[in-house]
Amino acid sequence: EDTEFTVHFHGTFIPVQGVGYIIEASNLLKNEDIHFRIIGSGQESNRIQALIEKFELSRTVERIPKIPITELPGYMAKAHVALGLFGDKERTQRSIPNKVFEAMAMGKAIITADTPAAREMPDAGNIFMLVPAADPRALAEAILRLKNDEVYRKRLGSAAFAMFQEECLPKKIVGDLLVV
């Protein structure tokens, strides 16, 4: 992990991901010692860059354009917290994105929107920090809590990793399909 408290997000910058809410949360936290690493590009890239400039966040928000997927684990490993989806789109309610499973596999503390999809994960409230979708203040408060409570942060990461091992490995997911 980086010595500076690092919050990681990667994605394709589509509205369902709610990257703008992440930038708004980073603006609320700009006087805290928190580094946001935002990796990717896509549909909302120009709007996101404009928000970063408007809020003068170049010191606290690091933008990295799209990178090869093989490089993502290295960036995620350095982060203290990984972010999921925060958009206010209907699809957000139905999706657990790959980025959440990737963070679970790496044992990272994860903050994502409190949605029916997220709640389908067994014990969701103990493996994710769930916040209302499209709510930058709630997201900022969750990030600050994880920054200030290392024990809770590590417990979430460990629980996420254990749940990944129990429920998300391919043999578990396809197991029922293989029983004839």
pLDDT tens series, the chain, 180 aa: 778 999 999 999 999 999 999 999 999 999 999 999 999 999 999 999 999 999 999 999 999 998 999 999 999 999 999 999 999 888 888 889 999 999 999 999 999 999 999 999 999 999 999 999 999 999 999 999 999 999 999 999 999 999 999 988 777 767 767 666
pLDDT at 107: 98
pLDDT at 72: 94
pLDDT at 24: 98
pLDDT at 44: 95
pLDDT at 173: 67
pLDDT at 89: 83
Collect all residues with Cβ–Cβ distance below 8 Å to 12 and sequence separation of at least 6.
Answer: 40, 41, 42, 43
pLDDT at 170: 75
Rounded to whole angstroms, the Cα distance separating 30 from 12 reads: 24
5-11 and 34-40 strand pairing? parallel
- Secondary element (H or E) of residue 75: helix 72-78
Rounded to whole angstroms, the Cα distance separating 110 from 176 reads: 28
